[in-house]
Each structure stands twice: as C-alpha cells, then as structure tokens.
Structure 1
Amino acid sequence: MSRAGIGGTVRRRLVESPGSLGEQARSRRAALVRDLFPDLADMDVIDLGGRTSTWAAAPVRPRSVLVINLEQQPELPEEDWLRVEHGDACELPTQVRGRAFDVVFSNSVLEHVGGHDRRQRFAESVHTLAPRHWVQTPYRYFPVEPHWLFPGMQFLPLAARSRIARHWPLVHTRPDDDRGAVRDALGVELSSITELRYYFPGSQIHKERIGGLIKSIVAVKP
C-alpha cells in the first residue's frame, strides 16, 4: 500500500470511521445539542457553512433547515424541510438578509472564513439571523492541528505548514501543487477562547475535550 493509502487508512481510524475518536466526539456533541436545544424539532434553523448530508442524517429533524455554503451542495428534492442556498456566510445572500430563524448552527467553519474582519462579519451574520446560536470551532491550543492531524502545525511558519499540507500522509485532501498547498495552509486560522468570546459576547463557551485537553470550543446561546 502506498504512503497516501496508509495515511488515509490511519486518518479514517482516528477521525472518520465508526468508533473513532472523531466519531465519539461528534456523538458527544450531538448529545449536548439535544440537551441545550430540546425544542430543536420545532425550530427553523439556518446552518452557516454546513452540509445538507449532515442534517439528512441527523437524529433530530428540525421543522426546517436552510444551509448556506460557498461550496455547491446536493439538492435533496424529496426533503422539503431541508434547503440549500449558495452563498457567503460573511456576506449573506440578498434573499436571506432580513429573514428570521430560531437558531443559527455552524460547525468547524469559523476557522476557514479568513482573517479578523471576515470572522467579525461572520459573527454579525450569526447575531442578525437568530436570537440563539451554536458556533463550534477547533481550539487553537490543542496540541494536534485537527485538519492535518499534525502536532503543533498551527504554530509553524507558513512555509513549513505548506510543506506539511503538500506531503503529510494524514492530509484529508492533498493539494495538486505547491501553490495549492500554500492556499490550503492560509485557509485555516484556529481561534482561542478569548477570540471566541470577543466575537460572541454574552454567549456560553463550551469546551469539548479529548483526554482532558480542550479540542474544540463552542459559543452557545441556547
């Protein structure tokens, strides 16, 4: 088996396959969502940067879900409660602005929007769209960078991060060239608890842990 094949197998066992650490974390997260939003089945939800497949497989089906994503998502015509709009969560589509929802959800998106100004606009979208929210993002100071599964990668210079993105066998999607590796490395900026509190003042900050260490942080207004 090639190095890439071995890396993919290891990655699946760690974060993607049933029973993996990633799957266990997602199960705990789903249980916390049910506890914090017991009326989710009666709510109109907007998911900033999410995926239709996540909601189609969710254990609780909200009254309605609108997914906003820059990446094209598959339409699910048989699911009239689940819709998708192509758009930027930091610059909401015209047809979404001014609409009201019960809750905003976002999982592992804030670290990808790009820079302080964009994170601020993302937070403003969250505050504008609904009185309640759940915004999760990986924690900057967890010792293993979660996208590449490389220890301490988030603290390295860009040149080193781009080399890891290009050659590390546990990468999820390998870039085609060095320029793509730099793009991918620039596309992830992990947040601290202080930063999350700044963007979401008055929200509860939940800490998701693995082995006693904080892995992800969540700004919640239930």
Structure 2
Amino acid sequence: MSFTNELADYNNKKSLANRFRDRRFRFFENQLKKIAPKKGAVLTILDVGGTESFWVNRGYHKNPDIHITLLNLTKAETQHDNMESVVGNACDLSEYSDNTFDLVFSNSVIEHLYSYENQELMAKEVQRVGENYYIQTPNKYFFIEPHYLLPYFQFLPRKTKLFVLSKTRLSRGNKLSMEKAKDKVAEIQLLSLKDMNHLFPRAKIFKEKFLGMNKSLTAYLINEK
C-alpha cells in the first residue's frame, strides 16, 4: 500500500501522481491568465466532474474574481462562496445555453463515460457551453494504465482484465467482485491523440511527457484577451 500511496494517491502531496497534476496545473494557470471574463469582473468556470478540494488545494477559494461550478452526478456540500455544486450529466448540458461559461475545465473524466459515443456527446457539450475549454485525459498509448497501475493493461483481452481484477491483487493491491470488475472495465475507455484531435478539432493539444512518452493529453481552446 505504501508504494501505491507514493505513486498514485492524489491526496498525498508527495506522490508522483500529485506532482504530475501540479505540473499540469501550472500550464493551465498560464492559459487561464489569457482569458478575459465576459460577465463583469468574475470569470466563470464549469468543472465537469471536479471537487471543491481540488481547487482549494490550489488556493482558488481565496479568489473572489473566479466563480467555479462543480458538476457531478451527485451534489456535494461546498464551503466557499465562490464555489457551488450542481447535479448534471457531462453528456447532456442542456440546462445551460451556448457560451454560458468563460471556461469549461475537466480533469481525467472523459475516459470514464463507458463509450466513445458518450465521449463525443461530452466533447460537443463542452465546446457548446464554454467560450474556452481545457479537457485533460490519460493517453491511451502510455505504457502504464493509470487507473490500474499495470503496464499495457488497456490492451489486454476483456477476459484477462476481468481475471486480473477479480482473482488477483495486482491492481493497486485490490481484488474486486466480478460485478465491479465488469463495470470498471466497461467504464474506462482511454483516448489517443487521434481521438482527442477528432473530438476537439479546433483545439491545441498539450502533451504531458514522461520518459519521452506522452503520459496525458489536454485539448484546450483559449481565446486570448
């Protein structure tokens, strides 16, 4: 467990995963500075699948010039005036009109939608409701599958994946029930650079590197001031 904690626990600030996330966030903040809010002095962000703690850990709860809407399948309590939690579906944001938000942000969510068709729906909605967007996802062709922490797990046959997850503790030291294993295998659909270019044709792609390989991909469109 200690090795897993050091490698992949985002709540552990010393973990490798958290250091990667912090490095990506510095790139994001450089892009955010280029955006001029359209609604008075407040810049509006829709975070699809995000948490309040993610932004608090980076000091955004102290910034009254930014309002963050956290959209998830369930509502959560928020502790800060510039953040609110709402219930919604990433694939259907019909409650919002075109260009409602200055920016749509999403970190490691689009790969959890069970199908490429759902990923297309999310991408379409993101580009509709946001004047700008920043959508990050792990790279399908990186050698470590980040959800399971196993090399090239994403390319194994479905039966082999189910065996590993339900009969062994090779993935993060856990053994799942067959039902949970089936759901997890169906849920996670990693995307490639080609996929991201197709989903977000107007976007630039930020490629996060590790050992010379693309570890994650971020599609972003920033209309500068």
- Whether TM exceeds 0.5 here: the answer is yes
Counterpart of 1:151, as a letter, is P
- The answer to whether the aligner puts 1:21 opposite 2:41 as a matched pair is no
> Cα 1:191–1:172, aligned 2, differ >3 Å: closer, same or farther?
farther
| Structure 1 counterpart SS, 2:189 | coil
| Structure 2 counterpart SS, 1:67 | strand
Residue in structure 2 matched with residue 33 of structure 1 by the alignment: 28
Distance (whole Å) between structure 1 residues aligned to residue 132 and residue 179 of structure 2: 39
Runs of 4+ in 1 over 4 A off after TM superposition: 39-42
> Cα 1:48–1:161, aligned 2, differ >3 Å: closer, same or farther?
same
User: 1:7-156 maps to which residues of 2 (within 5 A)?
Assistant: 8-16=1-9, 17-38=12-33, 42-60=42-60, 61=63, 63-70=66-73, 72-76=74-78, 78-92=79-93, 94=95, 96-98=96-98, 100-156=100-156
> Cα 1:182–1:32, aligned 2, differ >3 Å: closer, same or farther?
same
Distance (whole Å) between structure 1 residues aligned to residue 165 and residue 215 of structure 2: 20
Percent sequence identity is: 27
| Structure 2 counterpart SS, 1:191 | coil
Once the two structures are superposed, what CA deviation does each residue of 1:33-76 show, in whole Å capped at 9, x if it has no partner?
11111157952000111112212222344610111111x35311
Shift of 1:97: 4.5
Distance (whole Å) between structure 2 residues aligned to residue 180 and residue 123 of structure 1: 27
> Cα 1:161–1:148, aligned 2, differ >3 Å: closer, same or farther?
same
Distance (whole Å) between structure 1 residues aligned to residue 24 and residue 43 of structure 2: 19
User: Number of residues paired by the alignment?
Assistant: 211
RMSD, aligned α-carbons: 2.0
- Structure 2: gaps of 5 or more residues: none
- Structure 1: gaps of 5 or more residues: 1-7
Counterpart of 1:221, as a letter, is L
> TM (normalized to structure 2)?
0.86
